[in-house]
Amino acid sequence: MKTPSRFLNWLRGLPTHLILIGLCLIWILPSLGLFITSFRPVQDINETGWWTILAKPKGYEEFQAYCASCHGSDGKAISNADLTNPELVQNYRRSFALLTSLNREIDGQIHMGDTPIPDDKTTATIASYMRRISGIEARPKFTLSNYIDAITGYRGNSTYVTDCAAGNQSVDLYCNIRDLTNPRGMGRAFINSLLVAIPSTILPILFAAFAAYAFSWMDFKGRQWMFALLVGLQVVPLQMTLIPISRLYAQLGMNGTFWGIWLFHTGFGLPYAIYLIRNFMGSLPHEIFESAYLDGASHWTAFTKLAIPLSVPALASLGIFQFLWIWNDLLVALVFLGGKYPVLTYQIGNMVTSLGSGWHLLTAAAFISMALPMIIFFALQRYFVRGMLAGSVKG
């Protein structure tokens, strides 16, 4: 049989490739849009979509149609009526004034000549275009003010630096730090999220590693039963424990403390973590451990020198997933920390509800909260894929 030509092979793979490209586009396009939008000035966001960033500014078409024949396509052709000159355009800020000028005669000639005079709406559009090209109303295409406002906490104006300076005469370091850690901003929330997520990831995995070692390599009574119980514990819904635990915390004075939330996440992370690491450790080759014990290694040595280094893939992928789940968690943070130490999810929620019109900040806020998960994903892709397969492939 003839081997199929390269072209045929390519053709056969085409549907798969097209589907993959389509899937990539489905998530890349909105992310790109969100990313670009987060850098646009708020007025632009309200007026036009992000895909227009490469288009000519609003009013360009109308200007070309009505005015360019005499004033030139850049508006500079008539030297004593240079439409890019701010001082001249200053007099025509309002479309009404411009319309009057268009209707007036210049040196006995009708201003517009044979060209028809544009209607009110078109004139307004042209007036705003002139304000733009003359620099009266210049606004940058891209700005960091969404990010600055989101990080420092929205203050109702989009120029945080002047805001900081206004209170303090000069923009000094202290002023900047104070604004960066403003409790209403995403900067402080980011730190709070880190303070919640890092210990809540390390603690359960550390304890789970000890337990998993015991379950796989130590002989003690009731081992199977305890393990079965642990597997069973995974079905307890988190919501069921909210009331008893918050009552307990209230008695211990642990509501609204980081200790409380660390403990809670540790408790709920443990069953699954033990289950997963035990499955992994238990499938490590017996011979290695037996020869280590024969050589007189203690359990501690076997744990630190053998079990842990060999389980790094499982520990890492578990760590990634635990971290991401806590990073995106709102429920637990809301119940046990609330507004006392607002985390990212809480702060983003605040932005939508109390500032319905401030959704431009949400674009920046979303990216701030996405940044860390994205970095983790790209840095630890290898473990990420293994973690996804952990459920479906044995050990």
In the complex, the residues that contact ligand HEC under the rule CB under 6 A are 66-67, 69-71, 78, 80-81, 83, 92, 98, 101-102, 106, 111-113, 115, 118, 126
Closer residue to ligand HEC (CB): 62 or 179: 62
Closer residue to ligand HEC (CB): 29 or 70: 70
H or E segment to which residue 364 belongs: helix 359-379
Measured distance CA(270)–CA(275) in Å, rounded = 8
CB of 53 to ligand HEC, least distance (A): 25
CB of 367 to ligand HEC, least distance (A): 40
Q: Can you spell out the DSSP letters for 70-105?
A: HH-TTS-SSGGG-TT-HHHHGGG-SHHHHHHHHHSE
Closer residue to ligand HEC (CB): 51 or 96: 96
Percentage helix, strand, coil for the chain under 3-state DSSP, each rounded to 5:
70, 0, 30
Closer residue to ligand HEC (CB): 123 or 158: 123
Radius of gyration of the chain (CA): 32
CB of 98 to ligand HEC, least distance (A): 6
Q: What is the DSSP letter of 352?
A: H
CA angle, residues 81, 87, 92, in degrees to nearest 5: 75
CB of 58 to ligand HEC, least distance (A): 15
Do the Cβ atoms of 336 and 349 come closer than 8 Å?
no
Closer residue to ligand HEC (CB): 92 or 341: 92
CB of 74 to ligand HEC, least distance (A): 13
Closer residue to ligand HEC (CB): 106 or 177: 106
3 state SS of 2: coil
Measured distance CA(89)–CA(131) in Å, rounded = 7
Count Cα neighbours of 180 within 13 Å in the Cβ-side half-sphere. Answer: 9
Those residues with Cβ within 8 angstroms of residue 300's Cβ, 6 or more apart along the chain or in another chain: none
CB of 94 to ligand HEC, least distance (A): 12
CB of 352 to ligand HEC, least distance (A): 41
Closer residue to ligand HEC (CB): 38 or 95: 95
Do the Cβ atoms of 134 and 84 come closer than 8 Å?
yes
